[in-house]
Each structure stands twice: as C-alpha cells, then as structure tokens.
Amino acid sequence: MAQRITLNDGRSMPTLGLGTWPMDDAEAERVVERALELGYRHVDTAVRYGNERGVGRALAASDLPRDQVFVTTKVDGQHQGGDKAEDGLRASLDRLGLEWVDLLLIHWPLPVRDLYVETWRTFERLQAAGLARSIGVSNFKPAHLERLARETGTMPAVNQVQLNPYVTREDHRLYHQEHGIVTVSYSPLGKGGELLEDPAVTRVAEAHGRTPAQVVLRWHLQLGLVPIPKSSSEQRLRENLDVYSFELTPDEVLSLSALDRGAGVDSDKVGH
C-alpha cells in the first residue's frame, strides 16, 4: 500500500499514483478499476485527457469509501480567467460522478494570456466551498509560483511537472522544497522506453533484483517526489506499486540523477 505525504494545507496524498494520459474512457474505466483492486489509491486525470467519465465509472464500480481514493483533475486553458474555472470543475465533477475532487490543478500557466493569477483566486474560492479539497498547479516554473505567492499569498499544495532521471528539474525541486510544495512527477519513467534501457538504470535494477521501472520509481520516492506512472498492463501495474520494500543507496540515487539531459516540456511554449 502506498505511503502518504503531507501537503502544505494539512491534507495528505498517496506517494504514488496512476496516470491516465492518453487513455480514452473505455481504457481508463478498465485500467482504473483494476488498479483500485490492486491497491492504488491515487488516480490522476484531466479535462484535456477526455477520460474523466471512464475514471468516474471505475470509481463508481469500486466498493471503496470515497475518502480512501485520492482523485486529481486539471482544468485547461478554456477555463482560465474570470470564474471559468468553476464551470470547468463542476463539469469535471459531473463527468467523474463526484461531489468534490481531492486535488484540482491549473493544467498550464499560459503566461502569454496572463490569466493564471486570476484563475488561482477562483481556485481559492473553490477550495473554500469544498469542491476541491486541495489546489495546485501543473507545468509552472518557479517564477510563476513566485508571482502566485506575491499576489495571492497562497502557495499551491502541488506542482505537477514532467520529471525523471533524464529531466531532473533541480531548480523546480529546490524551489518546491523551500516553499512546501509537493512535486508530482508525470512521465516519471521517461518516454519511449529509452530511460528504462539505459545501462545506468539496468545496472541498479540487476543489483536489486528489480525491474528498471521499479528502480526509477524508487528514485522518485527517495527524492520526496510523487510519481504517477501510466500503464495498462496488469503486470506493470503490480510492479509499479511494489516499490516500498527496497531502497537505493545514496550513490545509486546520485548515479540516476547524473543522467539529466536538461530537456523537457517548456510551459512558456505550450498552448493548451
């Protein structure tokens, strides 16, 4: 069973979750339902993924009490500015079949539009109304977070960013750590399988008798990150959850961090 990490608003979230991009409704329903049976208690979706209905059907099919499953969704650019985020969240809740989400994120800062501060103030009201238990952001840079703190006085509970040993984002992680923001890692296993075939990863995996994916997920956990790997395979779902019974040495953690290539999604150049 996943451990939990405390957020800056006093709530907590499981330290490992299930990512659902790019599943459609049918796949999300099947995979999330099985993941919950296997012990996952943290599911990540978004308006833009187009699979909230499928996630909602899986949640409804589960016999788990609502407060035992941590559900994250994100509103995108069409829901920035004014009170548009409220309409976006209410539509998400309808698709998910929920009365509230555990975590609501602004999917992108979209700094050219300059609406993320205004949108954040709406998020604060949605949290106060109980429609979102915790609020956070995704793909925000430290400069965006600094502006939120300066103009609203509230720090996001979470910043979800692309992060793995090839994209370590030390500047983001340091800022988050200094300001009590939990870092959630999307694409935590890299893309296309290249990271999991890297000799530096496979050597550590062989030393521990673990899969490369388990070793990389353990790297995230030991850095205090919350990875949300996506998988549709039951075997990999099981393996990805089984990362709490071993530990990497400090040197092994450093060897994986040294793989950093400095690349990744640039939130200033993405427009959705």
- Which are the catalytic amino acids? 49
Spatial separation of the C-alpha atoms in residues 77 and 113, rounded to whole Å: 9
Query: Which of 208-217's residues contact partners 24+ apart within 8 Å by CB, and which partners?
Result: 208/246, 208/248, 210/246, 211/239, 213/189, 213/239, 213/240, 214/239, 214/240, 214/242, 214/243, 214/246, 215/248, 215/256, 216/164, 216/165, 216/188, 216/189, 216/190, 216/256, 217/16, 217/188, 217/189, 217/243
Which H or E element spans position 53? helix 52-61
Closest CA relative to residue 228, chosen from 116, 131, 138, 121: 138
Going 87 to 89 to 93 to 96, the CA torsion angle's sign is positive
Cβ neighbour number for residue 249 with a 10 Å cutoff: 12
b vs e for 65-83, b when ≥16 Cβ sit within 10 Å of the residue's Cβ? eeeebbbbbbbbbebbbee
Alpha-carbon distances, residue 56 vs 26, 38, 79 (angstroms):
11, 17, 21
Q: What angle do CA 37, 162, 227 make, to 5 degrees?
A: 30
